Amino acid sequence: MMRPPRPRLEIDADVRTTLLAARFVRSLARGPVALGGDPLSADRMRQKRVAGRRYRRVSMVTIDDVRELAVSLPRSEEALVRDRVKFRVGRIVYLAFSRDETSMGFAFPKEEREALIASEPAKFMMPERSDLRYHWAVVRLAAIDEAEMREIVLDAWRMVVPKRVSATYEGG
């Protein structure tokens, strides 16, 4: 015996958006999930199986990943300025996070900034209008992996330390 079809509920757009947002938050609470929908083991949390043998990142770079690298660099220190985490050498800031920690500003030559942003607009952004006069660019943390984060942080740090300090760090 067949069941009669279920009546379709009419839901207004606000309620639908709220339900979808709640579903998304619940999915985040479950942690990283593989392509097939199965939860990943702890040692594969940052990788996703693709085509049977290749792996791809699941989670984005976090402020903790950046902090681990930045505090290990010579002369680098962390500061909290107006509720924003910043890393600096002396008084010169070379990394700064947005208040919601989804994007990171970093020291970058302003002559090359437009080319960087044009090359990957989904990853890089122009800084705020007030910061355009500085050697500065912004990256979305969700769009980069750890290798790119490491390269960005080290290049930004190299811009603000004396050459002999960066040579000592890289040589030793």
Q: Nearest CA to 34 among 51, 23, 49, 46? A: 49
Distance CA 165, CA 75 (A): 9
Distance CA 141, CA 109 (A): 20
The share of the chain scoring above pLDDT 90, in percent, equals 62
Q: 154 near 117, Cβ under 8 Å?
A: no
Domain 63-171 sits in CATH 3.90.1150.30: yes
Residues of the chain with CATH 3.90.1150.30: 63-171
Q: 125 near 117, Cβ under 8 Å?
A: yes
Q: Which helix (H) or strand (E) holds 113?
A: helix 110-119
Q: What is the pLDDT of residue 171?
A: 76
Q: What is the pLDDT of residue 170?
A: 81
| Average pLDDT over the chain, rounded to an integer | 80
pLDDT over 60 (residue 85) = yes
For the segment 104-141, what is each residue's pLDDT rounded down to a tens digit? 999 999 999 999 999 999 999 999 999 999 999 999 99
Distance CA 122, CA 143 (A): 7
For the segment 20-57, what is each residue's pLDDT rounded down to a tens digit? 555 655 555 555 544 444 444 444 444 544 444 455 54
Rounded to two decimals, what is the model's pTM?
0.65
